[in-house]
Structure 1
């Protein structure tokens, strides 16, 4: 019997918009910028404000879908080497998040790690999270950071700064063709 958190029951959301935001952050970091470009941030803020409630929910679900896709890829990669994805991803993620207290309040770390573990065990991160109530405003930056850190982990493993983004873009293109 499938779990109520099985990905088949989860909405996909706006994966394209979520990927655009993560790719923007990846390019910013790889471009050597430590501070957010105010013009770029203003544009992102304006875009987010224009979404409305439904669009914001779609973006949130898209970010959760990215967490799921990234963890699915990582699980496969680690399984191919006889390693456990949770053992190799979670400690690094927790340590990194703890170094970012302005962006990731310590009280949100357990939720973000729960999302990652849910995805790493084949469950929908969004459905797993919904069991505990609605998303909070304080969880938005940590969710973006979690998605970013997973993409960066994949990019480091593949030694390709665009691999995670390209992988999802190709999957979206293949889905459009079907």
Structure 2
């Protein structure tokens, strides 16, 4: 029986922009810039201000698609070593999100945990989330942080700072070629 949260029913969204934002954060952290770069922050604010509601929905869907792809890769990597992805990834994500109370509202953490578990079990994160209503403003930073943390987790496993970005970029290039 097919689930209403089956990824085949989910819009892919704007994966390219979502990936660009994740990659930008990764590079900033890897370059040792832990504080907010005022120039970078201004560019992001200018970009987000230019988004229409349709563009914003596309970016949300794209970020959820990236989370799904990251969790699919992580599930396969952990299963190859007879390990459960939920056991190894979700506690790390939850612990890190909870350690970020100025950026991530505590009430958004359980939603992100559920979103990651949904993706780990083969469900579309955006369709899973939609069954509980519209996204809230409080969840936006948490969603961005979750995607970033998954990318960083993949990069650490692969021992390659660009692996997660390359993983998605290559999948996009393959999809465009088809």
Equivalent-residue separation in structure 1 for 2:37 and 2:77 (angstroms): 34
Give the superposition deviation at 1:95.
Answer: 1.0
Deviation by residue 1:70-127 (Cα, 9 ceiling, x = unmatched)? 0000000000000000000011111111110111111110000000000000000000
Q: Which residue of the partner structure matches residue 119 of structure 2?
A: 119
Q: Which residue does 1:43 correspond to in 2?
A: 43
After the TM superposition, list the runs of 4 or more consecutive aligned residues in structure 1 that deviate by more than 6 angstroms.
none
- Report the CA distance between 1:45 and its aligned residue: 1.0
For 1:77-156, what aligned pairs fall within 5 Å after superposition?
Answer: 77-156=77-156
- The RMSD of aligned alpha carbons is 0.5
Q: Measure, in 2, the Cα distance between the counterparts of 1:22 and 1:45.
A: 15
Deviation at 1:30, TM superposition (A): 0.1
Aligned match of 2:161: 161
Query: Paired residues, what number?
Result: 178
1:3 matched residue in structure 2: 3
Write the deviation string for residues 48-67 of structure 1: whole angstroms up to 9, x where unpaired. 11111000000000000011
Aligned to 1:23: 23
CA distance in 1, matches of 2:30, 2:77: 23
Structure 2 CA distance, aligned partners of 1:147 and 1:38?
22
Does the 8 Å CA contact 1:67/1:116 hold for their aligned counterparts? yes
Is 1:73 matched up with 2:73? yes
Give, in whole Å, the separation in 1 of the partners of 2:103 and 2:13: 24
What CA distance in whole angstroms lies between the structure 2 residues aligned with 1:130 and 1:66? 17
Give the gaps of 5 or more residues in structure 2. none
Gaps of at least 5 residues in structure 1 are: none
Deviations 1:15-35 (A, max 9, x none): 000000000000000000111
